[in-house]
Amino acid sequence: MKCMYCGASDSRVMDSRPTDEGAVIRRRRECIKCGKRFTTYEKIETVPLMVVKRDGSRQLFDIEKIRVGIIKACEKCKVSADQIEKLVMEIDNQVHNSGDLEVSSLVIGELISDGLRKLDPVAYIRFSSVYRELNDLNKLMEEMNKLIKKDNL
């Protein structure tokens, strides 16, 4: 690793720690030439994952869009920030662990729906009303009845 102070290419690792739930390694280094210390971060390089939208267009997978959607669905619900973050990370892991270079937005939507259904029924209905395009009262009632039947089984 090149020293940011003197440009020397020799350094030694003083300390290594995992961060971001083990996804990144933080390394504290010391330059052999000048003795100054600096920090580097190391993470696995991933292949860009593409999302195939309903209209067939493609865009880069962005976990922030999923996080924002889940947060909006959970507003004024009894869902903690930790629960939201855990769901976001589960979805991110499932999508990336599939091994595919492309994933359908429908698959992502179902993962979010399933996760929200387990967390909070109101958050699930909020998300479903947008995701499933439940734009009339009858469609919304059908979805709510399905939810009630699943919970009563």
Domain range for 107: 50-152
The CA distance from 110 to 101, in Å, is 18
**Rounded to two decimals, what is the model's pTM?**
0.62
What pLDDT is recorded for position 55? 94
The answer on 38 and 63 residing in a single domain is no
Query: 30 and 71: one domain?
Result: no
| Structural domain total, the chain | 2
Within this chain, do residues 89 and 146 fall inside the same structural domain, yes or no?
yes
Percent of the chain with pLDDT over 90: 61
pLDDT digit string, tens, across residues 14-59: 999 988 677 789 999 999 999 999 999 888 767 789 999 989 999 9
pLDDT exceeds cutoff 70 at 153: no
**Phi and psi angles of residue 55, each rounded to the nearest 5 degrees, phi first:** -85, 5
Q: Which residues contact 108 (CB under 8 A, 6 or more apart)?
A: 51, 66, 91, 95
Secondary structure E strands in the chain = 11-19, 24-31, 37-43, 50-52, 58-60, 102-104
Query: Which residues lie below 8 Å from residue 31, measured CB to CB, with a gap of 6+?
Result: 3, 5, 6, 8, 10, 11, 37, 38
pLDDT for position 135: 67
pLDDT for residue 30: 97
- Name the amino acid, one letter, at 47: V
